[in-house]
Amino acid sequence: MKKIAWVVDSSAYVNTLLKNHPDVYVIPLNIHFGQQQFIDGVDLTSEQLYEKLRVETESIKTSQPSAGEFAELYKKLSLDYESIIAIHVSNSLSGTISASMNGAQIAQVHMECVDSLSLSAGITGLVEKGLILEKQGLVFDEIVATLRLEATKFRNYILIGNLTRLYKSGRLSSVQFYLGNLLKIKPIIQINNKGQLQELDKVRSQKKAIQYLINKVVESAEQDGVNLVYIMHANALEQAESLKEAIQLQAPNVELSIGEISTSLAVHAGEDTIAVLWYLP
């Protein structure tokens, strides 16, 4: 039997490495448009989602997989693996970890959940780190403990592209929404080291907001020695590529990886959202 199966939810940025790795498995979240339910990344593409977000008037929300769905996956994995490490979206933002742990109890498997204290590329970075540790020969408990410490080193700056989605998802008050639109404010938000979403700053123009992101990356590259940064976007590839070029000019030694956020995250963040995310060395 193989030693470890790696499980992530679909809020993760499933890059080429994760997508093609034989030991990495993705369990999808659900997206609800009124009475309609879609499976994240399975029967709703990002293009279809953004089309719906532009015209949809019904309530839109997301939900985690059920404990039964996790149990079904874990029972299958237990036939081929000794243990399972599940890395999920922050427990402060979703009930996915609880469902995952309940599913493991139902399936009676050897599994540990790691709270990423993040989402998207934050999960990606932990899985990539875990695969390296496994290859180096660390045992299961050592890998889990190391990843839980690594999760506290996550840094991120998120420029919200559409205040309407953040407002409708309940993460922005009506006053904040009104003033933000009136004054053309660009809010910068962050997932803190407790895995909670918090407003970090307000910038008065898109140009200044992008420069804010550039400055944060360059500052961390110079002061902390950061050498890998993820640039994540919501249907804003051109803007992400422009941001990458600008960062490269000031921090040429930093590797920059561009990716698109999952449809389940775009429901809350909205189209044109762009973010920079990394782990401290």
Describe the strand order of the beta sheet including 111-115 as a list of residue ranges.
Answer: 24-27, 2-9, 81-88, 111-115
Cβ contacts of residue 164 below 8 Å, gap of 6+?
177, 270
67 sits in the region (left: phi over 0; alpha: psi -120 to 50; else beta) called alpha
Query: Percentage of the chain with pLDDT > 70?
Result: 91
- Of the listed ranges 22-26, 46-50, 88-92, the one predicted with least confidence: 46-50
Contacts of 230 (CB under 8 A, 6+ apart): 13, 120, 121, 124, 125, 256, 257, 258, 259, 276, 277, 278
- Torsion over CA: 228, 117, 267, 199 (sign): negative
For the purposes of burial, counting CB atoms within 10 Å of the CB of 244, is it exposed (0-12), middle (13-18) or buried (19 or more)?
middle
Instruction: Please check whether residue 136 is in contact with residue 129, taking contact to mean a CB–CB distance below 8 angstroms.
Output: no
154-279 CATH fold: Hypothetical Protein Tm841; Chain: A;domain 3 (3.30.1180)
- Rounded to the nearest 5°, which phi and psi values hold at 52? -70, -40
CATH of domain 2-29+64-151: 3.40.50.10170
Domain positions in the chain are 2-29+64-151, 154-279
Q: How far apart are CA 100 and CA 67, in angstroms?
A: 6
pLDDT score of 144 more than 50: yes
176-225 pLDDT, tens digit per residue, is 544 444 446 788 889 999 999 888 888 888 899 999 999 999 999 999 99
Say what percent of the chain tops pLDDT 90: 69
Mean pLDDT over 159-171 rounds to 65
Rounded CA separation 229/151 (Å): 15
Mean of the pLDDT values across residues 105-124? 97
Distance CA 271, CA 137 (A): 42
Q: How do beta strands 186-191 and 197-203 pair?
A: antiparallel
Token code pair at residue 255? 């590797």
Across 51-62, average pLDDT: 77
The region of weakest confidence among 18-22, 58-62, 232-236, 258-262 is: 58-62
d(CA 156, CA 221): 13
Among 21, 124, 25, 113, which residue's Cα sits nearest to residue 77? 25
Please provide the average confidence, as pLDDT, over all residues in the chain: 90
Q: What pLDDT does 168 receive? A: 58
CB 100 within 8 A of CB 45: no
